[in-house]
Structures are given as structure tokens and as C-alpha cells.
A and B are shown apart, each in its own frame.
Chain A
Amino acid sequence: MELSRAVSMDYLREVSIEARRNVMKMITHAQAGHVGGALSCMDILVALYFEVMRVDPARPRWEDRDRFVLSKGHASVALYAVLAERGFFPKRDLMTFDQIGSRLQGHVDMTKTPGVDMSTGSLGHGLSAAAGMALGGKLASKDFRVHALLGDGELQEGQVWEAVMFAAGRRLDNLTAIIDYNKLQLYGAVAEMLPIEPLLMKWQAFGWHTMEVDGHDMAQIIGSLRRAAMEKDRPTVIVAHTVKGKGVSFMERKVEWHAKPPTHKECERALAELREA
């Protein structure tokens, strides 16, 4: 059953803006959460959940659904905003983010939130679990795809490369990794702290099919995800060039907005900018 709808790029862009607005509101309300890295991966999540992935919000545990692993689990707010927009749970729940007893934890928890396929929060784990899911799909002769989103700083974790080698070794062509390449991590620039370049060559050397896109260009994101699905015998990585804090001018490319909650005033400014966008 094909559940994805053919939707216009304009509509997807509107969804992205609405989800970004909700991210601002959630983080400001909770005075907690990781804003920069949520805004940088938002367009990718919208493309996945509104165009590319086969999902059914009414059946979050549907066996044949495509899977998504948010390996950079601190970007939880982005995923919550998109899942709510897609109808996995009511939007009013968003404002419970990070409260005691809420289903929306600071880092994503699959035992609590409908639509979350894997619990994450400690960096470097997600691709291994995604590879296991993809292998499971093959073993069960299922045709679902698995997507994993990783941070660029996260690539410094050794476990990531164990999973990279494993996925290629097992020819997991039903697996797509997406790198949110926003060039910043928690304490500074990735290139200064521990360079990860040449990035495409690394993945190629490990046997992956590689692509490079503008991570804020919907058409490019969707095109690359579709092409990944046609690749045979090897997994695909999409290196998506993004801007940390994307959409809010005073947050863009600023390392201090990794996890700083905005004041109410700053939130108003951000919402106004997002309204105009």
C-alpha cells in the first residue's frame, strides 16, 4: 500500500516552517532542548515523513512501514514536531515536551512516543540499530527501507564506523544514512575539533554509495532519497549540507545555539521571521 501523497514542494516548505515554529515554541516553553541541530535537520525529516517514507500514523507499529532512526537523538524536538504534523499524536501534546510524565522526552524514547522507531540520546548508536533493522527486513523478505540521521560531530564516535563497515559487508541496500552536515558540534566547529573530511571518500572507501545534497532544498533531498532506493547491493549515504539554526537568522551558524533555550522575546522574533519565510 502506497501511503505517500504526491504533494507540492510549496506544501512541504509550509510544513517545514510550521514544524520549525513548533520547535521554537516547545523549546521556549520547556526552557530546554537542542534548537540548532533540530532546525538544521528539519527539511530532511519533513521530506522523509511527508513524501518519501511509507508510514501510517494510525498504525505506528505497522510491520511493513519504513523505519527512521534519529541517531542524533538530541534533535528530538524536530522529530516530535514532524510526527505531530503528520498525525502520529495530537499537536497539543507538543507543549508537554520535557515535562515529568510526558511522552515527549528530551531524547527520543520508542517506549513512549508513537512513531519513534528507536530510543536514542547517547551519540553513535543509531546506525548500528538501523543496520540491524535493515538486516531484519532482508531476513523477513520485507521491502521496507530504513533511514538513519546522524550528526556530523557524531561521526567522531568509533561505533559509527563499525556500523558503516557492517552495513556494506552485508550489502544492506535497504539502508540509507543521512548526515546532517551543519559543520558544528557542541563546543565548536567540527573541522577544528576533529576533522571528518574527506567525508565522501571515507564512505566510498567503506563500500557505500554516496550522494551530496543541499539539505535545505526539498527537491534535492527527495530526489536523493528516491535514488537511494534504487541502488542495489550497497547502502547509500546522503551527505546533506545544512545550516545549524536554519530559518532563524540570529541562530544560524552559531555554536552557542546548540542547546540554549531562547527567551520569550527571542522566540517572538524567531516566530516572526519564520512567518515571513
Chain B
Amino acid sequence: MRDRPVIYGGLAVFLAVITLPFWRGIESGVTTKGPELARPATARQCVASTEFMKSSHMLLLMEMRDQAVRSGDPWYVGAGHGTYTISLTGTCLEQCHGSKTEFCDRCHDYAGVAPGCWSCHLDAGHSTGSLTAMRSSR
């Protein structure tokens, strides 16, 4: 039975690994209540319903992105027939949702997703400040 420590050691490591997400959740203060979101900044009208945005905003963003970049058409007609200039920083953040940290990040941190958009796209609040500082804050 000389391998007993190995077995128990391995078991402990295994348990630690599979419960890792749980511990990380506790560490980042996840609750079942969900994140507190800042209200949209200045826009009166919405691109789409809240329900749709909650479930599918990433798909909408991809669609807008392809329309703006690949089709060269930077105007998007929203659900309320308002027309928006497609711009992640200028429209989504500055005009509609305010700051990235208060809105997108709060929910993403909660959901454990980290979209890579911000290594290129600028955060409205930080755009004129030091970019080097933004680097570390994702």
C-alpha cells in the first residue's frame, strides 16, 4: 500500500481542479442576483429589445461589424426604425451605454466572458487618456 499517498494526492488534485470554477466564482463575488448594470447613457431609443440584446447582442455586433467593415455600409436600421452609425466606441458605448467598465464589463465579469474587442476598440471613457493604462485593464 505504498502508493496510498499518491492515490489520495491525485484525488485531492482532481477535486481541486474540477471545483476550480466554483472557487473562482466565490472569489469574484458571484451571486444569483446577477450584476448591477448602469443605465444607458443618453439614447432615447433602442436598437433592439432588451430581451433580444441580452441573449443575442454578440450576434448583432458581428452582423453590424460585417456590414460596416466588409460591406462598407456604416448605417444600421434598428428595430424602432432609428438609424445608427455603426461604431462600437462612438455609438454602442458613448451614445448608448456609457462606459464599458460600468456596463459591458460588469456583466461579462459575472458571466466569465472576455471579448477580445478592446485590444483594438477604445473605451469611450478612456479614449483620450493614456492607452498604456488601458492595456492592463483589458
A and B assemble together: no
Residues of B within 8 A of A (CB): none
